[in-house]
A and B are shown apart, each in its own frame.
Chain A
Amino acid sequence: MTPTTPTQTPDTPARTARFVRGIRLGTPIFLGYVPVGMAFGVLATTIGFTATQAVICSATALAGAGQFIALNLMKSGAEVLAVVTATTVVNLRYVLFGATLSPYLAGMSLPRQALLAFTLTDETFAVNVNDRRQGLSTGASMAGVGAVAWSGWVSGTAVGALAAAWIGDPARWGVDFAMPAMFIALLIALAEDRRHVAVAALAAALAIGLPALAPLGIVVPASWIIVIASMGAATVGAVAFR
């Protein structure tokens, strides 16, 4: 992927059109986030969150897997710092995402960048990068994608937290596979040529192989696996494919 010249978004009606375009692009994310957000709402209230706490947690962290890990640790009585550290490490990949997107966001004001950063997730990132490759993505469209994704996550959480008793076990609805299914689609969208397929395959092998090293005394903490596997594979790719 070669970065093009960073685009400045002019203050024209085109910006609204691009924002709306982002909302359209983000709609599948919205619909994927609602059931998973519901699952978070149900689980959070089950371990003792109020509905308000569950919704505020989703609205301010927007951390997907990180939030589920937090619930798990909280249930087992982990200390506040241990919970926060674990979710942060799981989400360290956002550092990579931010760095990857940033050449396209040069010339954007800090407050706008802050808003975009706030809605950065695996899915919004992948959709924006994919859109960028087609030369279409702008700050306004990314804001649209982010806004609609955030709404899905938060509204799903609200429904789950308020209707936990009626929903029952979210696993019944196949929610366990909503995120994996989205990741599979995003992987195919992003692995557009032979080199990217090779790097993705290497990252996959590392993600599966690293935990198997434990019997040899090489223990990679679960929360680091994605970060280490993807950084390692990207490094091999950058060296091998010049």
Chain B
Amino acid sequence: MSAGYIWAVIGLMAVANFLVRFPPIAVVSRLRLPEPLMRWLGFVPAAVMGALVAGEVLRPGGEYLISLRSPYVLAAVPTALVYAKTRSFLGATLAGMVFFVAFRALVG
């Protein structure tokens, strides 16, 4: 893999990632959005997280793994409980990793 190839990817990725992030903020914050659009945007956070969680837990690595023997499925449940109980992002993240390693060893 040539250095030029890697640098080209790095440079263009930096530009592209800034372009998907900055213009929406710069433009939309200077507009008054109509109410239906605001309502739509209000549902975006929960929708994105729902889609991300489903994909990560039920299709890890882009392949279906919907099974009670999947460490992803098994670890997801107690991780959710830890967050619901403690409201700690950090606690839930660390506990999730521990659950995952444990279940992977158990069912693997």
Interface residues of A (CB under 8 A from B): 1-3, 27-29, 31-32, 35, 47-50, 53, 56-57, 60-63, 66-67, 70, 74, 80-81, 83-84, 87-88, 91-103, 105-106, 108, 110, 113-114, 116-118, 120, 122, 125-127, 129, 173-191, 195-197, 199-208, 211-212, 222, 225-226, 229-231, 233-235, 237-238, 241-242
Contact = CB atoms under 8 A, between A and B. Distances in A.
Contact of A99 (B3, B24, B39, B95): B24
A234 B44 contact: yes
B48 A96 contact: yes
A231 B50 CA distance: 12
Interface in B48-76: 48-60, 62, 64, 66, 71-72, 75-76
The majority secondary structure among interface residues of chain A is helix
B48 to A, nearest CB: 4
Interface in B1-36: 1, 3, 5-10, 12-14, 16-30, 33, 36
A67 B9 CA distance: 10
The majority secondary structure among interface residues of chain B is helix
Contacts, number: 309
Given A101-B25, A185-B83, A238 B101 contact: no
Contacts of B21: 94-95, 97-98, 117-118, 120
B60 to A, nearest CB: 7
A74 B1 contact: yes
Given A94-B20, A177-B99, A180-B76, 16 more contacts: A47-B1, A63-B17, A66-B13, A84-B16, A87-B17, A118-B22, A176-B100, A178-B97, A181-B75, A182-B96, A187-B46, A189-B87, A202-B50, A203-B51, A225-B55, A229-B51
Q: Which 9 A-B pairs have the closest CB atoms?
A: A181-B96, A200-B50, A98-B24, A204-B54, A177-B100, A174-B97, A60-B14, A28-B90, A28-B89
17 contacts: A28-B90, A91-B16, A92-B20, A94-B20, A96-B24, A97-B44, A98-B22, A98-B24, A108-B29, A117-B21, A122-B52, A174-B100, A180-B72, A181-B93, A199-B46, A207-B55, A230-B50
Interface of B: 1, 3, 5-10, 12-14, 16-30, 33, 36, 38-60, 62, 64, 66, 71-72, 75-76, 79-80, 83-84, 87-90, 92-101, 104
Contacts of B56: 179-180, 183
